[in-house]
A and B are shown apart, each in its own frame.
Chain A
Amino acid sequence: NKNSCVEAGIRGICVGRCKSKEAEIKRINKELANIRSKFKGDKALDGYSKKKYVCKLLFIFLLGHDIDFGHMEAVNLLSSNRYTEKQIGYLFISVLVNSNSELIRLINNAIKNDLASRNPTFMGLALHCIANVGSREMAEAFAGEVPKILVAGDTMDSVKQSAALCLLRLYRTSPDLVPMGDWTSRVVHLLNDQHLGVVTAATSLITTLAQKNPEEFKTSVSLAVSRLSRIVTSASTDLQDYTYYFVPAPWLSVKLLRLLQCYPPPEDPAVRGRLTECLETILNKAQEPPKSKKVQHSNAKNAVLFEAISLIIHHDSEPNLLVRACNQLGQFLQHRETNLRYLALESMCTLASSEFSHEAVKTHIDTVINALKTERDVSVRQRAVDLLYAMCDRSNAQQIVAEMLSYLETADYSIREEIVLKVAILAEKYAVDYAWYVDTILNLIRIAGDYVSEEVWYRVIQIVINRDDVQGYAAKTVFEALQAPACHENLVKVGGYILGEFGNLIAGDPRSSPLVQFNLLHSKFHLCSVPTRALLLSTYIKFVNLFPEVKPTIQDVLRGDSQLRNADVELQQRAVEYLRLSTVASTDILATVLEEMPPFPERESSILAKLKKKKGPSTVTDLEDTKRERSVDVNGGPEPAPASASSTPSPSADLLGLGAAPAAPTGPPPSSGGGLLVDVFSDSASAAAPLAPGSEDNFRAFPKHPRISAGGSEFVCKNNGVLFENQLLQIGLKSEFRQNLGRMFIFYGNKTSTQFLNFTPTPVPRCGLDSLTRTHLNLQTKPVDPTVDGGAQVQQVVNIECVSDFTEAPVLNIQFRYGGTFQNVSVQLPITLNKFFQPTEMSSQDFFQRWKQLSNPQQEVQNIFKAKHPMDTEITKAKIIGFGSALLEEVDPNPANFVGAGIIHTKTSQTGCLLRLEPNLQAQMYRLTLRTSKETVSQRLCELLSQQF
């Protein structure tokens, strides 16, 4: 029975038989011509010959050659009564089908006949074919029939298995064509089936369906738990052929554990208890001596263990299990099997983000660092880098950054850029001391200069410009670093820029006098590329302003032929203009034009954006994208908003902002050149997204203006509730905030019985008119499933980062198709500045001392307004607490008044806030006073809180 249908003649095509590629192609073409002539011949081929030639074609295709005929003959084979001919026909279709609609109709017809044949072997072939092709046309034809076969009482077990996975494939291709129905509850009960093969196939199907329709399949939880429990407690021989190397039903166990990850921990205490027991048993088994030395035994056992750990992490509710999981992974970190070390590092990354186990993960830092140094496989080292990044916090940042830096010296080229980005991000995020930050970045340039992208060195400059406490140190440090005889060009750029701005801070020392600084930079000039030389020319003109004593020297340089007559037009132009500027402009004008750069607008670190982009959704064309993070950055609308400095269009872009308008001496030059335009466009595009005209009737009117409507104000003091509802859609919210970060769960409920298609909710941050260039809020989310079934609910998680204080709430734009028409809903997301409030308790004395310190007229904002609600003391207190500030009792001498204090956390700053609310019962009025160190914060908080009473 080992006969092959490939004749000996054609076997010679295979490796080793044909001397050269050309000979092989020649041979194949000859064979193809032969087959073609047979198919086209006058004589009708019998089934056997047809099968033989179709099989040959398949063989040739699998050798890597293109096949453009034979499809029709293969389809003919499908209707043969001979099993072997039918089988080859199906195989050809499965491997080589194209979406030729004429053929699909014929294929579907043959499948239909086989499904109706009641012959389990033929039914099996037909179901395999549907599952293999899985096209939409097939879903249209069979999505109704397959569920019936699956749950019919008289269907054979093997057919049931095929039907389950066939349905799974159809659901993945075209979920909209597989309607839930009566069959769903019967499918759930397949978890109880006696045949473990049926249970295995059914569990895959249920898992996929439950991900999209959790309600419909809720009952599968308890069934899965009891099935799992029976498996993990069974003796190793109980399950006969389903025991794999002494591990009972490992595939099924993994699948059941996966299914349970579609749900939160079971509510029923009995089920929950049983599941905890199962998980404990699995963890216990990991400590038992192995029943076999075979790697298959340990792999199967550990596959179940890792899946159990995933479930524990998913539930994130049992500290005891989480810590046990962490300890178990800790053991694996030192296991002799590379595979286990790899998986342990990977799994620990997720554990690091659970508050219960973050600390436990941190205890393994030395092992992970050691892995970074000693692992021989780059993909394992990569996991170690990821884990170090995940476990990094303020307490260990210095150590982790130092280790990553030292690893970078020898790191594989393929992961250097990513490590550079990670180091840069960690250094910035956890910098308590900005001198350390500057040192770290300069080290990055020294060690891996080629991998330090523009984003990284732009960022260090932005930070130095924005923080006056580090400028002197930065100038001194770059000056020292530039002493090295061979330094990376990126260092020359950073050095040139920083000395141009802050060289004066170190000029008092004769060892770094203006002339010394200039000579040092100029010694590098000739070795640098054009963009760097252009930057240095700007540094020189800045020197002319900072240090009048070097002006003649610099003018000489500018006047030199190599500048004034440089072949590069950018260099030449700069030389000419700077020379002229230095000659004609008075000291005052020079000082204005060449003023120190204004602070850069604060926004998301461009490096973070770069890492996200690097690790973002991969495109088929981009080999670089090897990462699994799939977060979508909605920050910048359709075009990712480039960071201010990095958005400048040309490589010779002028960081000093002079290139754009050197002759305009009024005010500081625009700091972000071309970026400004991009921002204006992307902001207006996303923020002003209007309601679709046709849909307005269906919906409650929404504020079209970017102002918080009264309706939205109910969320100012609470985090959960229904945000929006109309006849079609209900949107619920749950959110939590901590410091400058937040997470919002948005629940979209389809109130109709019809599917929503192309369902795309997009949260978009908005900017006020005052600050078009800034991004105050970063919102990150993943796309939700585009199909929402009737009555179903989908959930979307939005991660929020507050970068700086803001006024405008983000907007949630939702588009979907309902019954053939496009629906558009825009609603404001209640993310307001006070969400980032942390209460601060303080004594009466402290409060008034600070209150007095904030007596600047801009720091105080006051509002006197009429009460809109009954003036109830308890409700008022609850509102102030809900608003996020601490309620300070016995602080105000007048007990009727309310006093609060707290800190607004943004990524860039922390603003202390004091508030005082004085009710006047008689007049039914309030006076609200806000004092903070920042005018905009005082104003915004006052606005928000005033609406509440």
Chain B
Amino acid sequence: MQFMLLFSRQGKLRLQKWYVPLSDKEKKKITRELVQTVLARKPKMCSFLEWRDLKIVYKRYASLYFCCAIEDQDNELITLEIIHRYVELLDKYFGSVCELDIIFNFEKAYFILDEFLLGGEVQETSKKNVLKAIEQADLLQEKTENMFHSKSFIGSKKAY
């Protein structure tokens, strides 16, 4: 996989992960073009499209589009399920995930993604194992935060 983008129906980029070296300018250009292309597609259309010399696999979950760019020889359907598994992971972690979870807990979204995909390849497909790793890290975080800082903020998505 060359990169993964998450963006909203309004075209706001919510998460970007690049597995190939590109300049910031190129990243912005690609993002702009792709967001435009994908948003222009109708709901019942197929989830794959050719774009430059890459294959784009995308799927919409509620207000968010998950969009992956893969290479010619890569498998489209399994990529679609990579997206789904990532959504499942987010869902399980946040408990019914929504766009705001990803906005405000973006670092968690990145950490989960890193446990699941690394270097553009699937690292661990077991939901249990991925979440175990994240929860262990959270425990570490909790411990240190409680030890050194009393301050903590509760981000309830209902407030927005």
- Contact between A618 and B53 (Cβ–Cβ < 8 Å)? yes
Per-residue contact bits, chain A 372-384, to B (CB 8 Å; 1 contact, 0 not): 0000110110100
- Contact between A4 and B104 (Cβ–Cβ < 8 Å)? yes
Q: How far is the CA of A258 from the CA of B73 in the complex (A)?
A: 9
- Contact between A1 and B138 (Cβ–Cβ < 8 Å)? yes
> Residue A197 contacts which of B50, B125, B148 (CB distance < 8 angstroms)?
B125
Listed stretches A244-252, A280-288, A696-704, A756-764; interface member: A244-252
> Residue B129 contacts which of A158, A296, A630 (CB distance < 8 angstroms)?
A158
Q: Is A135 an interface residue (CB 8 A)?
A: yes
Q: How far is the CA of A95 from the CA of B149 in the complex (A)?
A: 27
> Residue A200 contacts which of B50, B51, B124 (CB distance < 8 angstroms)?
B124
- Contact between B81 and A161 (Cβ–Cβ < 8 Å)? no
| Shortest Cβ distance from residue B6 to the other chain A in the assembled complex, whole angstroms | 10
Q: How far is the CA of A338 from the CA of B40 in the complex (A)?
A: 17
| Shortest Cβ distance from residue A817 to the other chain B in the assembled complex, whole angstroms | 22
| Shortest Cβ distance from residue A876 to the other chain B in the assembled complex, whole angstroms | 48
Listed stretches A25-33, A126-134, A730-738, A883-891; interface member: A126-134
Per-residue contact bits, chain A 94-121, to B (CB 8 Å; 1 contact, 0 not): 1100000000000000000000000001
- Contact between A87 and B118 (Cβ–Cβ < 8 Å)? no
Contacts A5-B107, A303-B78; A168 near B46 (Cβ below 8 A): no
- Contact between A4 and B105 (Cβ–Cβ < 8 Å)? yes
- Contact between B152 and A3 (Cβ–Cβ < 8 Å)? yes
Q: How far is the CA of A719 from the CA of B29 in the complex (A)?
A: 48
- Contact between B125 and A14 (Cβ–Cβ < 8 Å)? no
- Contact between B29 and A302 (Cβ–Cβ < 8 Å)? no
- Contact between A197 and B46 (Cβ–Cβ < 8 Å)? no
- Contact between B119 and A158 (Cβ–Cβ < 8 Å)? no
Contacts A620-B26, A627-B50; A83 near B119 (Cβ below 8 A): no
| Shortest Cβ distance from residue B119 to the other chain A in the assembled complex, whole angstroms | 4
- Contact between B75 and A628 (Cβ–Cβ < 8 Å)? no
- Contact between B121 and A201 (Cβ–Cβ < 8 Å)? yes
- Contact between B153 and A7 (Cβ–Cβ < 8 Å)? yes
Per-residue contact bits, chain A 321-349, to B (CB 8 Å; 1 contact, 0 not): 00000000000000000110111000000
- Contact between A6 and B104 (Cβ–Cβ < 8 Å)? yes
A94 contacts which chain B residues (CB < 8 A)? 110
Contacts A82-B144, A82-B148, A121-B140; A197 near B124 (Cβ below 8 A): yes
Q: Is A428 an interface residue (CB 8 A)?
A: no
Q: How far is the CA of A4 from the CA of B80 in the complex (A)?
A: 29
Q: How far is the CA of A740 from the CA of B121 in the complex (A)?
A: 43
Chain B residues numbered 85-140 whose CB sits less than 8 Å from any CB in chain A: 85, 94, 103-108, 110-111, 114, 118-129, 133, 135-140
- Contact between B141 and A84 (Cβ–Cβ < 8 Å)? yes
Q: How far is the CA of A306 from the CA of B48 in the complex (A)?
A: 15
Q: Is A687 an interface residue (CB 8 A)?
A: no
For chain B, give the interface size range: 35 or more
B160 contacts which chain A residues (CB < 8 A)? 16
Chain A residues numbered 244-286 whose CB sits less than 8 Å from any CB in chain B: 244, 249-252, 254-255, 258, 261
A625 contacts which chain B residues (CB < 8 A)? 52-53
Chain A residues numbered 336-372 whose CB sits less than 8 Å from any CB in chain B: 338-339, 341-343
Contacts A241-B126, A302-B77; A166 near B141 (Cβ below 8 A): no
Contacts A91-B110, A303-B75, A620-B26; A169 near B19 (Cβ below 8 A): yes
Q: How far is the CA of A249 from the CA of B33 in the complex (A)?
A: 35
Residue of B nearest to A131 (CB): B119
A244 contacts which chain B residues (CB < 8 A)? 81, 85, 125
By CB atoms of chain A within 10 A, which of B10, B53, B137, B140 has the most? B53
- Contact between B103 and A166 (Cβ–Cβ < 8 Å)? no
B135 contacts which chain A residues (CB < 8 A)? 1
- Contact between B94 and A2 (Cβ–Cβ < 8 Å)? yes
- Contact between A3 and B153 (Cβ–Cβ < 8 Å)? yes
A875 contacts which chain B residues (CB < 8 A)? none
| Shortest Cβ distance from residue B105 to the other chain A in the assembled complex, whole angstroms | 5
- Contact between A204 and B110 (Cβ–Cβ < 8 Å)? no
| Shortest Cβ distance from residue A737 to the other chain B in the assembled complex, whole angstroms | 28
Contacts A64-B13, A251-B78, A339-B80; A242 near B119 (Cβ below 8 A): no
Q: How far is the CA of A134 from the CA of B139 in the complex (A)?
A: 29
Residue of A nearest to B152 (CB): A3
- Contact between A617 and B53 (Cβ–Cβ < 8 Å)? yes
B107 contacts which chain A residues (CB < 8 A)? 4-5, 55, 58, 87-88, 91
Q: How far is the CA of A492 from the CA of B47 in the complex (A)?
A: 43
Residue of A nearest to B84 (CB): A296
Contacts A2-B94, A82-B148, A128-B118; A14 near B77 (Cβ below 8 A): no
| Shortest Cβ distance from residue B12 to the other chain A in the assembled complex, whole angstroms | 6
Residue of A nearest to B28 (CB): A64
Chain A residues numbered 182-201 whose CB sits less than 8 Å from any CB in chain B: 196-197, 200-201
Q: How far is the CA of A132 from the CA of B152 in the complex (A)?
A: 29
> Residue A380 contacts which of B46, B52, B145 (CB distance < 8 angstroms)?
B46
- Contact between B124 and A87 (Cβ–Cβ < 8 Å)? no
Q: How far is the CA of A342 from the CA of B50 in the complex (A)?
A: 11
Residue of A nearest to B88 (CB): A296
Q: Is A299 an interface residue (CB 8 A)?
A: yes
Q: Is B49 an interface residue (CB 8 A)?
A: yes
Residue of A nearest to B47 (CB): A339
A48 contacts which chain B residues (CB < 8 A)? 148-149
Q: How far is the CA of A300 from the CA of B135 in the complex (A)?
A: 27
> Residue B48 contacts which of A6, A8, A121, A343 (CB distance < 8 angstroms)?
A343
Q: How far is the CA of A921 from the CA of B43 in the complex (A)?
A: 82
- Contact between B104 and A161 (Cβ–Cβ < 8 Å)? no
- Contact between A339 and B125 (Cβ–Cβ < 8 Å)? no
- Contact between A376 and B44 (Cβ–Cβ < 8 Å)? yes
> Residue A168 contacts which of B21, B84, B121, B124 (CB distance < 8 angstroms)?
B121
| Shortest Cβ distance from residue A63 to the other chain B in the assembled complex, whole angstroms | 8
Q: Is A165 an interface residue (CB 8 A)?
A: yes
- Contact between B137 and A83 (Cβ–Cβ < 8 Å)? yes
By CB atoms of chain B within 10 A, which of A5, A88, A94 has the most? A5
Q: Is B45 an interface residue (CB 8 A)?
A: yes
Residue of B nearest to A252 (CB): B125
| Shortest Cβ distance from residue B139 to the other chain A in the assembled complex, whole angstroms | 8
Q: How far is the CA of A11 from the CA of B100 in the complex (A)?
A: 10
A677 contacts which chain B residues (CB < 8 A)? none
Q: How far is the CA of A83 from the CA of B80 in the complex (A)?
A: 33
> Residue B114 contacts which of A2, A88, A128, A623 (CB distance < 8 angstroms)?
A128
| Shortest Cβ distance from residue A904 to the other chain B in the assembled complex, whole angstroms | 36
Residue of A nearest to B147 (CB): A82
B111 contacts which chain A residues (CB < 8 A)? 87, 91
Residue of B nearest to A340 (CB): B77
Q: How far is the CA of A285 from the CA of B108 in the complex (A)?
A: 38
- Contact between A628 and B19 (Cβ–Cβ < 8 Å)? no
Residue of B nearest to A83 (CB): B140
Q: How far is the CA of A339 from the CA of B75 in the complex (A)?
A: 12
By CB atoms of chain A within 10 A, which of B10, B49, B75, B103 has the most? B75
Q: How far is the CA of A241 from the CA of B88 in the complex (A)?
A: 13
A379 contacts which chain B residues (CB < 8 A)? 45-46, 48-50
- Contact between B13 and A131 (Cβ–Cβ < 8 Å)? no
- Contact between A3 and B154 (Cβ–Cβ < 8 Å)? yes
Q: How far is the CA of A369 from the CA of B120 in the complex (A)?
A: 37
Residue of A nearest to B107 (CB): A91
6 of the cross-chain contacts (CB-CB < 8 Å) are A66-B24, A241-B127, A251-B78, A303-B77, A339-B48, A625-B52
Q: Across chains A and B, which 7 residue pairs bring their CB atoms closest together, nearest first?
A: A303-B77, A169-B119, A303-B78, A165-B118, A241-B126, A204-B121, A83-B140
Given contacts A14-B103, A200-B123, A244-B85, 11 further A-B pairs with CB under 8 A are A2-B108, A15-B12, A62-B13, A84-B140, A85-B144, A88-B107, A94-B110, A168-B119, A204-B122, A306-B77, A628-B55
Q: Which residues of A contact B (CB under 8 A)?
A: 1-8, 11, 14-16, 48, 55, 58-59, 62, 64, 66, 82-85, 87-88, 91, 94-95, 121, 124, 127-128, 131-132, 134-135, 158, 161-162, 165-166, 168-169, 172-173, 196-197, 200-201, 204, 241-242, 244, 249-252, 254-255, 258, 261, 296, 299-300, 302-303, 306-307, 310, 338-339, 341-343, 376-377, 379-380, 382, 617-618, 620, 623, 625-628, 630
